[in-house]
Structure 1
Amino acid sequence: MKMEDIARIANVSKSAVSLALSGKPGISEETRFKILKIVKESGYLPRSMIKADKVYGLTKTLRFVACTNSGIVLEQYYKQPFFMELIHDIEEQCRSRGYSLFFSSIQTDNLEDAIETMETEHESNGIILLGTNLTQEQIRLIAQKQINLVVLDTCLETFNANFIVMNNVMGAYQAGRHLLDLGHRQIGYVQSNSRMYNFNSRKKGFLQALAEEQLSVDDEHFFSVSPTVVSSQDEFIQKIKALKTPMPTALFCECDYIAISTIKSLNELGIRVPQDISIIGFDNIQESTIITPELTTVHVEKGKIAELAVTKLFDMIENGDSVKMKSFIDTQLVVRQSCRAVGAAEAQPSLLSY
């Protein structure tokens, strides 16, 4: 049986069959299971697709699980820069240890059944769970299905599981100190309209930096926007237009996507960055160097997060390590052109770069 035959029987494209066999995201779990069921029954195993032998349980396999919703982790989350870079680093770490990485995207409203089906039909040696948008109860359900579990991008301090996350409080504190050191005292805050552990922790760290200087964010200078949009956002534009107080001299944005959309929104209003207002983001995604001006942001060590996650699972699987851990990875400030000192002349922004 050829790949074309499997595609015909499953009523899908050849590319869908390829995605199912290689473990890549881009198709639904229902479609993936249908294809792999046909593959099992037919005995088809393309030699060119090394990862396909996981269907028969011949290799050691880790599963990367993302639970999608409409707020933060989208259906095509793997195309979002932060997650795309993180997944690439996890793949490299798995490969270096002789493990294959299988991808599963499931809806949060069908979590328990989906996990049960995945681990029953295609059992993994361990799960790396993207916990960005998950509750403790949802994480508990997954932990019951797979004891070898590492949760990324969130942290529940009282829950008995492995968590690895960037030090959000530290990163936002660094951003706040940078703006203060540049002389800013009227600082605004652009937050996600979908809340989660990371964003709440960043707000804590940023406000802590301001509080050390007996400062706070004016109520009118809090703005809420979508965290997954990179175009200008009308709600933000309208709130800027309606301000009754003077504009802030700087804005902290809870992630780089928000910062990029904020710069585009301000540009539509004729407000220049950084000449009229300074902008700082968080995550240091690749797009932060493409936007004009290049974005001052907080760098997240995605490679280190991936390394620790795969190493922890490796130790659990290979060495029986049962000790749970909570790991916070410190951040670094990356200074580019989107911020400048209060009162600096227009010819001086380049002096603040890097």
Structure 2
Amino acid sequence: MKMEDIAKLAGVSKSAVSLAFSGKPGIGPETRERILKIAQENGYLPKSRATITDPSTKSLTFLVFANSGIVLEQYYQQPFFRELIHYIEEQCRSGGYSLIFTSVEMESFEQEIKAVAEEKRSDGVILLGTNLNQAQIAAIAGLLTSPLVVLDTCFETLPIHFVEINNVMGAYQAGSHLCGIGHQNIGYIASNVRIHNFEDRKRGFTAALRENGLEIAEDHVFSVAPTILSSQEALKGQLGAYLDAGHPLPTAFFCECDYIAISAIKTLVELGYRVPEDVSVIGFDNISESVIVSPELTTIHVEKERMARLAVDLLIQSIESDEDVKTKITVDTQFIERLSSRSPVKEAVNPA
């Protein structure tokens, strides 16, 4: 039996079968499971799986808990994660390792992790920690037998390797910029899904405003979905109610991620406001879409390439040495000023 035969039986393309066998993203977990089951039932052994058992083949696993928090099932298509994965793959290749993708569901947390540990498909694991809390990461580390590095979050009290963004610094940079160019009536658009990174960003932004004698008014805080690039009715409703109460629109908004910022720009435009003439908007992450949206987005640049390189290098070092001491690395951010922010001319008024 050939790969083409498996594709016909599963009702998918040959490329989908190849993705299933290699463990790479590009197909959903249900499709992957169906393909692998058909292959097993028909006695087909994928070459990619056979080579994994070859002692001379070195590989790392990129482990993701999908459909939880802001990490969607097709996380590899989300701009931030897409860029991060690209750099991880590059660094793996340069280090002589292949990269295996494993996406598991949070609903079967313990069972899935045990399966990953028992398979021993790779020499070490890079865990995407964006959407995971401290207890979950501790449980995963306790079940895995391979060296582990957690990427994109950090919990200081866990004896685990972490590589994270300096979220506090990035949001502080955004707040300092807005205060520095004269904004005093500042709004905050938060994610309605709370994760470690967003809490740190809120802390950093608040600290910058306090240093400048400002506070975020309670009614200036809005909450939206963090994974939608189009305008959002939820934000439109919140802003509409705020304006109907007779309040002037803040002259600037800080958004906890670029997704929210781009969505906010589109929502504000639909409400009749101009960005940045009437209201400035700042995001966080510097995803590729931030230079496509109009106006181009002022944002916080996250060093995704550096984070990927540090995570891979730290994991390889753990695999090839017997050191027990763990390392926690925080990567600083850079402020990127583009066209979505400017000094306030006057407080924006309701165009209606």
TM-score in terms of structure 1 length = 0.91
Whole-Å Cα distance in 2 between the matches of residues 267 and 13 of structure 1? 42
- The CA deviation at 1:32 is 6.0
Cα offset, 1:180, TM superposition: 0.5
Partner residue in 2 for 1:326: 328
The offset of 1:143, in angstroms, is: 1.0
Give the residue type in structure 1 aligned to 2:151. L
Q: Which structure 2 residues correspond to residues 81-120 of structure 1 after superposition, within 5 A?
A: 81-120=79-118
After superposition, the C-alpha distances for 1:107-149 in whole angstroms (9 at most, x for unaligned) are 1121111122123235221100011111222212221213400
Give the Cα separation in 2 of the matches to 1:295 and 1:264: 12
Partner of 2:21: 21
What is the CA distance between 1:30 and its match in structure 2?
2.8
1:152 matched residue in structure 2? 151
Counterparts in 2 of 1:36 and 1:335: CA distance versus 1, 3 Å: farther
Deviations 1:223-247, CA, capped at 9 Å, x for gaps: 0000000111111111212223211
Q: Which moved more, 1:141-150 or 1:290-299?
A: 141-150
1:47-105 alpha-carbon deviations (Å, 9 max, x no partner) = xx7x8722656511100011012531010111000000000000000000110100011
Instruction: Name which of 269, 273, 276 aligns with 1:274.
Output: 276
Q: Secondary structure at the match of 1:214?
A: coil
Percent identity of the aligned residues? 55
Residue equivalent to 2:126? 128
Structure 1 52/265 Cα, relative in aligned 2: closer, same or farther at 3 Å? farther
8 A contact 1:21–1:52 mirrored in 2: no
User: Matches of 1:36 and 1:318 in 2, distance apart?
Assistant: 34
Conservation of the 8 A alpha-carbon contact between 1:20 and 1:35: no
Name the CA shift for 1:52/1:74 in 2 (closer, same or farther; >3 Å): farther
Give the aligned partner of residue 238 of structure 2. Answer: 239
Is the contact made by 1:163 and 1:327 (CA closer than 8 Å) also made in structure 2?
Answer: yes
The corresponding residue for 2:160 is 161
Correspondence for 1:339: 341
Measured in 2, the distance between the counterparts of 1:117 and 1:32 equals 18
Amino acid at match of 2:159: N
Q: State the Cα distance separating 1:10 from its structure 2 match.
A: 5.2
Within 5 Å, which residues of 2 pair with 1:1-354? Answer: 1-8=1-8, 12-25=12-25, 26-28=27-29, 30-31=33-34, 33-34=36-37, 37=40, 41-45=43-47, 53-54=51-52, 58-144=56-142, 145-243=144-242, 244=245, 245-343=247-345
Which shows bigger deviation, 152-161 or 11-20?
A: 11-20
Given the superposition, is the C-alpha separation of residues 36 and 164 from structure 1 closer, same or farther in structure 2, using an over 3 Å criterion?
farther
Change (3 A) 1:269 1:52: farther
Change (3 A) 1:70 1:155: closer
Note the C-alpha offset of 1:172.
0.1
Question: What is the number of equivalent residue pairs in this alignment?
Answer: 339
Question: Which residue does the alignment assign to 2:350?
Answer: none
CA distance in structure 2 between the aligned counterparts of 1:108 and 1:308, rounded to whole angstroms: 27
| TM-score computed with the length of structure 2 as normaliser | 0.91
Is the contact between residue 2 and residue 44 of structure 1 (CA under 8 Å) also seen in structure 2? no
| Structure 1 CA distance for aligned equivalents of residues 266 and 194 of structure 2 | 23
What code does the residue aligned with 1:27 have?
G
Corresponding residue SS for 1:42: coil
Secondary structure of the corresponding residue to residue 94 of structure 1: helix
Please tell me whether the aligned partners of residues 126 and 313 of structure 1 are also in contact (alpha carbons under 8 angstroms). Answer: yes
Deviations 1:133-176 (A, max 9, x none): 11222212221213400001111111110111110000000000
Counterpart of 1:20 in structure 2: which amino acid? A
C-alpha separation between the residues in 2 aligned to 1:122 and 1:7? 26
- Ranges in structure 1 where 5+ consecutive residues have no aligned partner: 345-354
In structure 2, distance between residues paired with 1:10 and 1:117: 23
